[in-house]
Structure 1
Amino acid sequence: MNDILAGLRKRKRKARIVVVTLIVIVLLLMGITLMVGDTFYPLDVVFKVIMGDKNISGASFAVGTIRLPRMLAGVLVGFSLGLAGSVFQKMLRNTLASPDIVGISSGTSMAAVFCILILQMSGPSVSLISMAAGLLIALLVYMLSSVGRFSSARFILIGIGLQAIMNALISYMLLRANQYEVSSAMRWLSGSLNRMQMSSIPTLLIVVIVCTIAILLLERYLNVLELGDDIAVVLGVRVKVVRILLIVCSVFMIAFATSVAGPIAFVSFLAGPIAHRLVGSGQSYAFAAGLVGAILVLCADMVGQFLFATKFPVGVITGVIGAPYLIILLIRINKTRGVS
């Protein structure tokens, strides 16, 4: 018994160390993002700008107007995608159950492209409509997968099917549009932190804080849901209520994040497994997954900006990283299940 308790304490200590380390890495990347660019600004200058000094030549505009909202959006969007993705994967007991694979991100993207190309809209209204579309797609997937009795496999398959439909509609609208309109839609579809403004940050911050608190409070029930619905019911969990609350909170985070920065590929898919590997089995890793998501977005954004002669949107870099992982995961699943 003492050995079991000692092992439990050791795993908890490891999980805390991992979370603290991830927080430190996020803070370091935030500082580097603000300092590095076409012009390098030392940390003391960056700090003065953040504290409200608007009289520093060059730095006040570069740091305060361009880099600061870009950095904050990267952290919040990455955290949202990572946390929400890990909830979906854990709740549905499947690593493939990521929001950008089960159709939620595609629904948000389809609505945004429709607004940009067909309705000739721009600005915050596009974000609001695309967010609402993501919520509707999630609701539709849940309703269809809950016919009779909720099935995680059905949820994933229906989501993949709706994703294919949404992607087909996006391709059709892009083909029908003129080349000048297509460029603005493609910038949004690639997932980018370019032209980010501070006006987009407060609402996203509120959503992230509220939904994160709700998910962390529900996480103990999420751990029970991972054992299966029957066991969860026996242990007194109101399965349907908990599942709906988790889906609503996660979808809100995904929809708001996507409406701000576009569909940044594979962050929600990668963050959960990485965090799980770092934290270890038997420990909660949702918050750690959010931190990993923020790290992935900040690192990918810096790579896209500075590592190549051409500047690439953050979604292109995360897509290059995530696609091989998806292929490897599918190969492993096939080998495990004996599929030739």
Structure 2
Amino acid sequence: MRSTDSAVHDRTLTPHPRALPGEKVDFGRPMLRMFGFRIDMRVVTSAGIITLLALACGFAGLMMGKFSLTPAEVFQGLFGAADKRIVNTVVGEWRAPRIIAGIVLGAGLGVSGAVFQSLTRNPLGSPDIIGFSTGAYTGGIVTIIVFGTSFVSTAAGAIIGGLLTAVIVYLLTWKGGVQGFRLIIVGIALTAMLNAFNTWLIMRADLDLAMAAATWGAGTLNGMGWSTITPAAIATVVLGLACGLFARDLGTLELGDDTGKALGVRNELVRAVLIVIAVALVAVVTAAAGPIAFVALAAPQIGRRIARAQGTSLLTSAAVGALLLVAADLVAQHAFGDIQLPVGVITVVIGGIYLIWLLIQEARKAS
């Protein structure tokens, strides 16, 4: 059924090419046409449910802590209308920035991971595996040692470091084009060298600066305030929307360069622009909270499985990334009594388990 409205439901009627006689034929998925885009309704529904779960975890984070609050007090504190000033301070100044950081920065990591996994056509193609997160961390360490712990200088250093790493990896990978597997191998090698260089930098720095760099390098939302999260959130949203503008070309490139050329996509230009945007996303997150590992690796694949999408979805990747980071931060804060761990410790544990499972799955496919 079609109409001339700006938003109409559409359903693809092409049977699955591998359908056998007697099998149930898949007549496609419910689609929504809006502003010239085809939107998969299952993807939208899945992303909406995951986002609600992330918000629920965030609301729980606003309530939990040594100074526990009721849901009513949380709502009052969010609007600065609580009778007790301490409630307004705890909710509005201490906990809310942390929750916003977890949701927005987690979404940014999810989008960045989705871009790289689509470009490489490989579930291992995430910025922390390829080395762009490590490069951003290197740039941040250098600026901390040279200019101090200012957020502006650290952010600039992280962005420059991430982009320089991307350029090096891109040049070393280039051979008549960029192949995903070669990009991953070169990125892993460069990550190992950068990790060694980062350790040397920290060991050579003054004790105070070394401690600041090491704490920041663990990946943490502790001490997150509005002065830090506001510019980071704005930058993350803008860069995420910029990735969304290339979503159609990204999906086409996932089908292969030949298909992209046949459909009029300028492959290398689009790929280069998307790499720059995705690296900038990682760098902004790294500047605000340090290098948080494995969220960008796991979120796109989890979102893809939940939505049962044919390709990697930026929308579900962002939602799952937000949920993973907020949930991991809740565990880091409250699962170990009075000890508050950096959220990066929790994501490394979860991500390590997921990476082992992913490698086993890939080995089974190859055998």
TM-score by length of 1: 0.92
What is aligned with 1:60? 88
Secondary structure of the corresponding residue to residue 37 of structure 1: coil
- CA-based RMSD: 2.2
What is aligned with 2:365? 336
* In 1: Cα distance, 2:81 partner to 2:177 partner: 58
For each residue in 1:153-187, what CA deviation from the matched residue of structure 2 results, as whole angstroms up to 9, or x when unmatched?
A: 22212211211111001122233346554332221
Q: Verify: 1:221 aligned to 2:241, yes or no.
A: no
Shift of 1:90: 1.2
CA contact (8 A) 2:163 2:279 kept: yes
If asked which structure has higher relative contact order (CA below 8 Å, sep 6+), I would say 1
* In 2: Cα distance, 1:287 partner to 1:16 partner: 7
Which one of 6, 20, 30 corresponds to residue 9 of structure 1? 30
What is aligned with 1:121? 148
- Give matches, 1:109-258, under 5 Å: 109-116=137-144, 118-119=145-146, 121-124=148-151, 125-177=153-205, 179-258=207-286
For each residue in 1:33-63, what CA deviation from the matched residue of structure 2 results, as whole angstroms up to 9, or x when unmatched?
A: 2121111222332223322448633112211
* In 2: Cα distance, 1:111 partner to 1:283 partner: 33
Return the letter of the residue paired with 2:176.
G
* In 2: Cα distance, 1:184 partner to 1:101 partner: 24
Deviating more after overlay: 101-110 vs 124-133: 124-133
* In 1: Cα distance, 2:149 partner to 2:82 partner: 29
Return the letter of the residue paired with 1:330.
L
Return the letter of the residue paired with 2:344.
G
Return the letter of the residue paired with 1:204.
A
* In 1: Cα distance, 2:168 partner to 2:65 partner: 43
Return the letter of the residue paired with 2:29.
L
Shift of 1:266: 0.4
Q: How many positions carry a matched residue from both structures?
A: 337
* In 2: Cα distance, 1:101 partner to 1:43 partner: 40
Return the letter of the residue paired with 1:248.
V
What is aligned with 2:5? none
For each residue in 1:203-243, what CA deviation from the matched residue of structure 2 results, as whole angstroms up to 9, or x when unmatched?
A: 22222222222222211111111111112101211111211
* In 2: Cα distance, 1:281 partner to 1:196 partner: 35
* In 2: Cα distance, 1:279 partner to 1:192 partner: 29
Task: Label 1:2 to 1:79 Cα distance change in 2 as closer, same or farther (>3 A).
Answer: closer
* In 1: Cα distance, 2:147 partner to 2:270 partner: 39
Task: Label 1:178 to 1:199 Cα distance change in 2 as closer, same or farther (>3 A).
Answer: closer
Secondary structure of the corresponding residue to residue 157 of structure 2: helix
Secondary structure of the corresponding residue to residue 221 of structure 2: coil
* In 2: Cα distance, 1:54 partner to 1:261 partner: 30
* In 1: Cα distance, 2:149 partner to 2:14 partner: 60
For each residue in 1:72-110, what CA deviation from the matched residue of structure 2 results, as whole angstroms up to 9, or x when unmatched?
A: 111111000011101100111011111001111101112
Which one of 309, 332, 355 corresponds to residue 326 of structure 1? 355
Question: Bigger radius of gyration, 1 or 2?
Answer: 2
* In 2: Cα distance, 1:202 partner to 1:34 partner: 18
Secondary structure of the corresponding residue to residue 123 of structure 2: coil
For each residue in 1:248-292, what CA deviation from the matched residue of structure 2 results, as whole angstroms up to 9, or x when unmatched?
A: 221111110111000111000010110000011326621111110
Q: Verify: 1:317 aligned to 2:346, yes or no.
A: yes
Return the letter of the residue paired with 1:68.
A
Which ranges of structure 1 fall in alignment gaps of 5 or more residues?
none
Deviating more after overlay: 257-266 vs 44-53: 44-53
* In 2: Cα distance, 1:109 partner to 1:283 partner: 30
Deviating more after overlay: 86-95 vs 205-214: 205-214
Deviating more after overlay: 172-181 vs 94-103: 172-181
* In 1: Cα distance, 2:285 partner to 2:154 partner: 13
Return the letter of the residue paired with 1:122.
T
Return the letter of the residue paired with 2:28.
G
CA contact (8 A) 1:12 1:283 kept: no
The alignment-based identity, stated in percent, is 35
Deviating more after overlay: 323-332 vs 10-19: 10-19
Structure ranking higher in helix proportion: 1
* In 2: Cα distance, 1:88 partner to 1:32 partner: 32
What is aligned with 1:41? 69
* In 2: Cα distance, 1:242 partner to 1:149 partner: 13
* In 2: Cα distance, 1:113 partner to 1:13 partner: 43
Q: Verify: 1:297 aligned to 2:318, yes or no.
A: no
What is aligned with 2:315? 287
Return the letter of the residue paired with 2:355.
L
Deviating more after overlay: 43-52 vs 67-76: 43-52
